[in-house]
Structure 1
Amino acid sequence: MKTTFKILFFLLVPMLSFAQNTYYLEGKLGKSVIFMEISEYDNNYLEGNYFYEKSLKDIRLNGKFKEQSYNLYFGNDYEETDFEEKFELTKVNSDFIGQWKNKAGKNITVTLKKIDFSKYPKFDFDEETDRNLDVIKVHYIRFSRDSITTYKNQEMIWFTEKHCATPFFRLGNTFSEETRNILNPILEKKHIEMTLNQLSCSSPFSYNTGGGIEYNITITYLDTNLLGYHVFLSYYCGGAHPDFGGEGNIIDLHSGKQYEIDEILAFDKSVTPYDHENFMQFSDYRTNFFGPKIFELVNQNEKFKTPTDEEDYCDYNDLSIWTFPQWNFTELGIEFTPTFARVIRSCETSFLIPFSMLLEYKNATFPYDFKTN
C-alpha cells in the first residue's frame, strides 16, 4: 500500500461531496489550447480546473452557477473584484462559450466543447480515481535523458520531464535486454504518475510552479533478483503548511512484481496485503501483530523512554505510530519510519532493523532470502 502517494493525491484534490454533474472540455482561450473540468455541487457551487496544452500545469477554480451562466475564479472564491482570473461562461447544450478576464481588465474569448476521449490513449492508473484530464496530460508528457549514474557497477539512466521538475530513472545497458524490457515500462509508469502529481500541485489561490513537489530518489538495494529504491518528497501545494513523506519500493527483476511489506514480512498467519475489500482484516493484523512487533524489534536497540517534557511530542512508545509506518528495503535491512500526525511530522525518523533480526519473520511466500552477512 503506497500510502505516501495516496495521501498526496488527496491533498492535491479537494475533498467535497459528490458532484451532481461534471463537464470535461477542450477548446481555445484566445489562440491557446486549453482543457477544463467543471463540476457542479449543491447550492450552485462550482469547482473547476484547467490547464494549457503548452504547460499542463493545473490552475484550480471555484465559483457559482445559475441556470446557464457559469462564473469561475482563480485567486478568490467568487468575488467580483478581488481575483487573479475569471471565466464568465454560458452553457449552450454541452458546449461553453464566454470570456476570460484578469484583474488588469484584459478580456479574451473562450470556446469549449466536450472532450472526445477516444482520441487519447488510455492510461492504467494504479488507483481508481476521477482523474480524466490526466489522460490528456499523459498524451503530452515528454521525458528526456539527463544523466547516467552507477550503483553496484550497474547503469541507472536519469530522465527529466519537459513541463515540470520530476526526475526519475530507468535501467541502463549493463542490465540484460530482458530485464530492461520488464522493468523500464514499470519505471516509466512510475515517472508518469509522479509527473501527474507534480502537474496537479496547485490550489485555487496559488499557481502551479512545476516544482511544488521536491523529489529525492535513492537506489537502496540491488542484487540479481531485486531492485529497491526510495522516493522522498517534500511538497507545498497551497494550504496552511508544507509537508513531506517517503515511500519504499522493491521490484522483482525477473517478473516486475512490486512487493508490499506484508508480502515480505509476516508476524502472524492472519497477514494479508492491503485490499479495500479486506481492509478490516488488514487493519486488525497491522494493529495487533505488525505494529507491536516492529516496535519490539526497533526498541531492542533504541530503548525508547516515554517523554516527560510537555513540549516533547515524539513518543515512540505509542504503538499506533508503528501500525502503518513508511518502510524502505536497503542493503543492511529494512528501515521503518513511524507515522506521526502532520503537526508533529518532525518526529519522523527512520530506524533500521537488520535482516538478521527479520529472518524468522520472512513471509513464506516471499521467494528470496534475506542477506544476513
Structure 2
Amino acid sequence: MKKCFFYLFILYSTIAFCQDKIYYLEGTLGKSTIFMTIQVYKSDKETNLTAVYFYKNSLKDIKLEAKLKDNNYTFYFKPGDVVTEKFYLKKSGNNFEGFWYDAKEKQLAVHLEPVNFENYTSNIKIRFDDERLNLVKYKFLEFKKQKTTLYNNKEIVWYSEKHCDSDFFRLGADFSEKNKTVINPILEQIHIQNTLNQLNCSSNFEYSNGQGIESTATINFLNTNLLGFEIFASYYCGGAHPDFGGSGYLIDLNNGKQYEIDDILAFDKSVTGDKENNFDAFSKYRTDYFAPKLLAVINSQEHFEKPKNVDDEPCDYTNEEYWNFPSWSYTEKGIEFTPTFYRAARACEESFLVPFEKLKKYKNPKFPYSL
C-alpha cells in the first residue's frame, strides 16, 4: 500500500510538473449550456491534450480525444472507432470559438469562456484541482426523497439524485434534533461526493448513463451514541478492468466525529491514524503491529492454512501483507474485516467477523465507548 501511495505521489507530481495549462470553460453548444475542462501537457517533443465536457442538463462527463495544431483545437468522441461527435475550436484570448458536429455532420456553433467560479462557491471539498468543475455540478444537483425504512426502530430517510444512480440516507424523524443537525450534513456531504463520483465516472468507449458505479449503503450499527454503516461499490469508469471495494464508517451521533479503525483499536501504543501527515509511522504501525495481531485474532477462529501452491491458489489469508490495510465495517455483533489483495486476486476478498469480545483488550484507550 505504501508503494501505491508513492506511485500516486509520483504520478500527480509528474502531471503537475509537465502540465502547461488548464482551461475551465463554460458556454454554449447551439442552444445548450455546456462546461468543459481542457488540459494541455507539453514536453520537449510533443504537446498532449485531454478534454472533458458535460451538459448542464445531464452533468455526466463525456471524455474527448484531442489534438492541437497551431492555435486550432480538435476534440472528438470515438466509441468503437466511430466518431460520433467532434469539436473544431480556435482559441482567441481566453475564449474558444468554433463548431460542433455530430456523426451526420450536423453543425452547431460553440462559444466557451472561462468559468466564473464566484458563481459556484460552496463548502464542499474538492480533492484535486482538475475536479474544480465539481463546484459547477454541485450547484445543479437535485436530491429527492425516495423512501423511509427502519433500523433499530429509528426512521431512516433515503434520497435519490435526479441526474444519475446515487442513493443514500439521512436520519429521520425518530432522531433528536441535535442528532439530525450534527449528522445529516455529514451524510449529505457523503451523498454529494458519491454523486459527483458517479457523474465523473466515464470512459472514451461509451457514453455514461450515470450507472458506472453500482453502490450500496448498508447500516450495520446504531445505538444512542454511534452510527455505523458500509458503502460497497463496484465500478467501471473505463480502463482495463472493472473494480470493487467497500468502505466502513463509524460516526459519533453527539459530535459528528468519524472514527477510523485505528481510533477504535490499538494493537500497540505506537498506534497512529495520521496517514496524511506521517505516513511512515502509520505504515510501520500497520505492518509491525496491526496486521500480525489482527491476523492472529482472526486466525484463532478461522484456522487458515497456507496454500501449497500460491500461484494456483492465490487466497493466502495467512499472508500478513494482505491485512495491513483491510477494509472494515462496525456491526452489531463485532467488526468485519476484509483483507486487501492484489487486483488479479480480488475475488479472494472475503469478510471475516470478529466478535467484540475478542477485540475488547485491544480497544484504543482514546475511543470513548465500550466495544
TM-score between the two structures when normalised by the length of structure 1: 0.92
Q: What residue is the counterpart of 1:122 in the other structure?
A: 122
Is 1:350 matched up with 2:351?
yes
Q: What residue is the counterpart of 1:17 in the other structure?
A: 15
- Preserved CA contact (<8 Å) 1:46 1:72: no
Shift of 1:200: 0.7
**Per-residue CA shift, 1:293-324, capped at 9, x if unaligned?**
11111100111111124421111111110000
Q: In 1, distance between residues paired with 2:198 and 2:82?
A: 27
**Per-residue CA shift, 1:221-243, capped at 9, x if unaligned?**
00000000110111111222211
Shift of 1:82: 4.2
Task: Give the alignment of 1:279-294 within 5 angstroms.
Answer: 279-294=279-294
**Helix, strand or coil: the match of 2:130?**
coil
Is 1:66 matched up with 2:69?
yes
Shift of 1:120: 1.2
Equivalent position amino acid for 1:140 in 2: F
Equivalent position amino acid for 1:56 in 2: L
Q: What residue is the counterpart of 1:173 in the other structure?
A: 173
**Helix, strand or coil: the match of 1:24?**
strand
Q: What residue is the counterpart of 1:323 in the other structure?
A: 324
Q: What residue is the counterpart of 1:52 in the other structure?
A: 55
Percent identity of equivalent pairs = 48
Distance 1:126 1:326, change over 3 A: farther
- Preserved CA contact (<8 Å) 2:126 2:132: no
Task: Give the alignment of 1:39-188 within 5 angstroms.
Answer: 39-42=39-42, 43-75=46-78, 82-125=82-125, 127-188=127-188
- Preserved CA contact (<8 Å) 1:62 1:76: no
Distance 1:210 1:14, change over 3 A: farther
Shift of 1:198: 0.4
Q: In 1, distance between residues paired with 2:12 and 2:172?
A: 39
Distance 1:127 1:25, change over 3 A: closer
Distance 1:182 1:272, change over 3 A: same
Q: What residue is the counterpart of 2:212 in the other structure?
A: 212
Distance 1:126 1:358, change over 3 A: farther
Give the unaligned 5+ runs of structure 2: none
Q: In 1, distance between residues paired with 2:30 and 2:12?
A: 29
Q: In 1, distance between residues paired with 2:169 and 2:124?
A: 20
Distance 1:30 1:126, change over 3 A: closer
Q: What residue is the counterpart of 2:259 in the other structure?
A: 259
Q: In 1, distance between residues paired with 2:104 and 2:293?
A: 61
Shift of 1:14: 10
Which of 46-55 and 205-214 deviates more? 205-214
Give the unaligned 5+ runs of structure 1: none
Equivalent position amino acid for 1:53 in 2: K
Give me the CA root mean square deviation: 2.2
Shift of 1:356: 0.6
**Per-residue CA shift, 1:127-184, capped at 9, x if unaligned?**
4553100000000001000000000000000000000001100000000111101100
- The runs of at least 4 consecutive aligned structure 1 residues that moved more than 4 Å come to 13-16
- Preserved CA contact (<8 Å) 2:232 2:247: yes
Q: What residue is the counterpart of 2:198 in the other structure?
A: 198
**Per-residue CA shift, 1:23-62, capped at 9, x if unaligned?**
0000000000000000001222110111000000000112
Q: In 2, distance between residues paired with 1:177 and 1:342?
A: 44
Q: What residue is the counterpart of 2:229 in the other structure?
A: 229
Q: In 1, distance between residues paired with 2:113 and 2:348?
A: 49
Q: In 2, distance between residues paired with 1:355 and 1:134?
A: 40
Q: In 2, distance between residues paired with 1:152 and 1:15?
A: 47
Q: In 2, distance between residues paired with 1:89 and 1:250?
A: 49
Equivalent position amino acid for 1:194 in 2: N
Q: In 2, distance between residues paired with 1:36 and 1:248?
A: 34
- Preserved CA contact (<8 Å) 1:203 1:238: yes
Shift of 1:126: 6.8
- Preserved CA contact (<8 Å) 1:219 1:228: yes
Which of 306-315 and 93-102 deviates more? 306-315
Q: What residue is the counterpart of 2:338 in the other structure?
A: 337
Q: In 1, distance between residues paired with 2:225 and 2:274?
A: 24
Aligned residues: 360
